[in-house]
Structure 1
Amino acid sequence: MLLLAVDTATPAVTVALHDGESVLAESDQVDARRHGELLIPSVDRVLAEAGLKLDAITGIVVGVGPGPYTGLRVGLVTASTFAAVLGVPVHGLCTLDGLAYAAGTAGIEGPFTVATDARRKEVYWARYEDPRTRVGEPAVDRPADIAEEVAGLPAVGQGALLYPEVFPDARGPEHQSAAALASLAAERLAAGAEFLPPTPLYLRRPDAQVPKNYKVVTPQ
């Protein structure tokens, strides 16, 4: 088994290689505006570090979000393209699940909350019983609207750090890690668990909208 994991659903452009037992190489860069520029060079870098070629990959793991529209699609399109070219499966995982798994490696056992920045003064969030067990589905809300639901719980992720009045016990990791995502995927593959399709989990409509009641000009 050789998994290539990528995630661009958050400001982190993160890539990792996993052989089913451990992480062979990883690259993490935080730049919310350069997902498209940084992802492919990051893939090249982790392959070179591991001394491997792309055709050695047996599966692709990709974070499906939730996340902002443009950045999220970079990772998903890249993962699906690699999978199609190589003829290997692509396994989707919730980005918040990857952060939760990373929280476990950092010593947080649960219960806890994962929250990432959704912009518009909102967060993408979910509650977890432990690093591998999410409670319910991910959601997007204003922090003040979920204060009672997350009260008293530790929280990880950039969203938690941005709103300390709602998440007073905010901790690291702040950003997504493809190494954690790959490790979680390897566990789930070994257990025969199901994965999400490689389609974006937006949770809300994109900013760009087709204007209503616009004037149609037809040729004479």
Structure 2
Amino acid sequence: MLLLALDTATPAVTVALHDGASVLAASSQVDARRHGELLLPAVDRVLADAGLRLDAVTGIVVGVGPGPYTGLRVGLMTADTFGLALGVPVHGVCTLDGLAYESGIESGPFVVATDARRKEVYWARYADPRTRLTEAAVDRPADIADAVAGLPAVGAGAVLYPETFTDARAPEHVSAAALASLAAEKLAAGEELLAPRPLYLRRPDAQVPKNYKVVTPK
């Protein structure tokens, strides 16, 4: 097994290689505006660090979000392209699950919350690093204050809103190393992973204007 994992659902552009037993190489850069520019060089760098070629990869793991439309689609389209070119399966993993797995919190309950912009967070509640109790959702922090009161909270969304998440903890962003490790563990156990399809939870920011004027040639 050689998994190439990547995620662009948060401001982090993160890539890792996992051989089924351990992480061989990893790279993470935080830059919310340069996902498309940074992702492929990061893949090249991780492969070079591991001393491997892309054609050695036997599976792709990609974070499916939730995340902003523009950033999230960079990772998903890249994963799909690699999967088609190499003829290997592409496995989806919820980005929040990756953060939960990486949290270091041995038992829950706890919360994972990432920045959804628009003064909202993407969030879910966990029983432990491998068990999500709720579906991923997008809400204003004040609206979920009672549901998360007093719980440890992981992720940039928790850091941004300390009045709601009073026990915010690292990491702020997911790492592909965590995604790869979680995916490898699930695959070894015979578990089925998610389809590599985006978990947006809301409409994209860019939309066609309503009642726009149609211009036709004379």
User: What secondary structure does 2:136 align onto?
Assistant: strand
Rounded Cα–Cα distance in structure 2 between residues aligned with 1:23 and 1:219:
58
User: What secondary structure does 1:25 align onto?
Assistant: strand
Where in structure 2 are there 5+ consecutive unaligned residues? none
Alignment deviations for residues 44-68 of structure 1 (CA, whole Å, 9 cap, x no partner) = 1111111000000000000000000
Correspondence for 1:5: 5
Alignment deviations for residues 129-186 of structure 1 (CA, whole Å, 9 cap, x no partner) = 0000001210000000000000111000000000000001000011111000000000
Report the residue type matching 2:60 in the other structure. Answer: I
Measured after TM superposition, the shift of residue 107 of structure 1 is 4.0
Measured after TM superposition, the shift of residue 108 of structure 1 is 4.2
Report the residue type matching 1:76 in the other structure. Answer: L
Correspondence for 1:192: 190
Measured after TM superposition, the shift of residue 196 of structure 1 is 1.3
Q: Is residue 50 of structure 1 aligned with residue 50 of structure 2?
A: yes
Report the residue type matching 1:110 in the other structure. Answer: G
Where in structure 1 are there 5+ consecutive unaligned residues? none
Rounded Cα–Cα distance in structure 2 between residues aligned with 1:197 and 1:77:
13
Structure 1 counterpart of 2:161, from 155, 160, 163: 163
- For normalisation by structure 2, the TM-score amounts to 0.98
Measured after TM superposition, the shift of residue 22 of structure 1 is 0.5
Correspondence for 1:114: 112
Rounded Cα–Cα distance in structure 2 between residues aligned with 1:127 and 1:161:
16
Equivalent residue runs for 1:49-68 within 5 Å:
49-68=49-68
Rounded Cα–Cα distance in structure 1 between residues aligned with 2:209 and 2:29:
36
- Say if 2:93 and 2:194, in contact at 8 Å, map to a contact too: yes
- For normalisation by structure 1, the TM-score amounts to 0.97
Correspondence for 1:27: 27
- Say if 2:98 and 2:178, in contact at 8 Å, map to a contact too: yes
Structure 2 counterpart of 1:216, from 210, 214, 217: 214
Q: Is residue 206 of structure 1 aligned with residue 187 of structure 2?
A: no
Report the residue type matching 1:197 in the other structure. Answer: A
User: What secondary structure does 2:137 align onto?
Assistant: strand
Report the residue type matching 1:125 in the other structure. Answer: W
Give me the CA root mean square deviation. Answer: 0.9
Q: Percent identity?
A: 82
Rounded Cα–Cα distance in structure 2 between residues aligned with 1:166 and 1:62:
30
Q: Note closer, same or farther for the CA distance 1:214–1:113 as it changes in structure 2 (3 Å cut).
A: same
User: What secondary structure does 1:92 align onto?
Assistant: strand
Measured after TM superposition, the shift of residue 109 of structure 1 is 2.4
- Say if 2:112 and 2:123, in contact at 8 Å, map to a contact too: yes
Structure 1 counterpart of 2:128, from 108, 111, 130: 130
- Say if 2:105 and 2:129, in contact at 8 Å, map to a contact too: no
Report the residue type matching 2:186 in the other structure. Answer: R
Alignment deviations for residues 116-138 of structure 1 (CA, whole Å, 9 cap, x no partner) = 00000000000000000001210
